[in-house]
Amino acid sequence: MAHLLIFGLGYTAKRIKAAVEQPSSQGAWSVDATGSAGNLDFEDRDAVLCALDQATHILSSVPPNRETGSDSVLDAYGDELKGRALFYLSSTGVYGDQEGSWVDEATPTIAQTSEGRRNARAEADAAWTEMDARVFRLPGIYGPGRSALDRVREGKARRIDLPGQVFSRVHVDDIVSGVVTALTQDAPAGAYNLGDDLPASGNAVTEYACQLLGLEPPPMEALEEANLSEMARGFYMENRRVANGKAKRVLGWQPQYPTYVEGLTSLFGSER
């Protein structure tokens, strides 16, 4: 029986856990997890090592320390993970700013900004890649309770006047389908970009969310006048389009929500 150990039971990992626990032709998986609502304490080494002994697959969704660049999972259990079936949720932030160009898994990862979170993620991505993990590089994640619809309702949506600035995004259900496919089909080690088919501006996404909600979009603001946090400013200073062809070709993966239009429309319908 397949047994999955998850380090870090966050927004996406909870949905991966629920998916593999569902009965299928291969049977339901058993799952142990550390973190929020998980059954294991990360600091309880004996309990985690016991779970590792039983695990056939290991998934980490724990982000690295933004100050030190250190990956807590590899620091604590790296020796025990060697030679195992490893899966890691990373970020397309490792590609840095590409001035709107397309990136794929062959694009060098770079830690070019002064923002510690991106530097740390690039270093952790490289470490997991060297461990022969299946590394899933994820763009902006949205889904139930975490989308442009929620930001508009909460009055937190912004429109920033940056012509030509685009980014990729992915519905959480499409991450789940890609990761579960890799888990169950013994996918080759390496990096996989899981993003939708239509990189687009944040303004376009916000405007479509407003259209669905029957609300006026927020005013356009200049970046210099928007009073954004350092993290938010860092986001707007990066511009890239993320190609997903490898995941389609190697995993046979197809996003259920190929653009933000299908994704937001589905979320809006389910909320109604």
> Mind listing the pLDDT tens digit for each residue in 237-256?
889 999 999 999 999 999 99
- In the prediction, which pLDDT does 131 show? 96
Domain boundaries along the sequence of the chain: 3-271
80-107: pLDDT as tens digits: 999 999 999 999 989 988 999 999 999 9
**In the predicted structure, residue 111 carries a pLDDT above the cut 70:** no
- In the prediction, which pLDDT does 1 show? 83
44-59: pLDDT as tens digits: 999 999 999 999 999 9
For residue 58, the cross-strand partners are: 5, 86
- In the prediction, which pLDDT does 208 show? 98
Spell out the residues 6+ positions from residue 75 whose beta carbon is closer than 8 angstroms to its own. Answer: none
- Amino acid at the residue 70: S
- In the prediction, which pLDDT does 232 show? 78
Q: What is the pTM of this model?
A: 0.95
Task: Please name the CATH architecture into which domain 3-271 falls.
Answer: 3-Layer(aba) Sandwich (3.40)
156-201: pLDDT as tens digits: 999 999 999 999 999 999 999 999 999 999 999 999 999 999 999 9
**In the predicted structure, residue 116 carries a pLDDT above the cut 60:** no
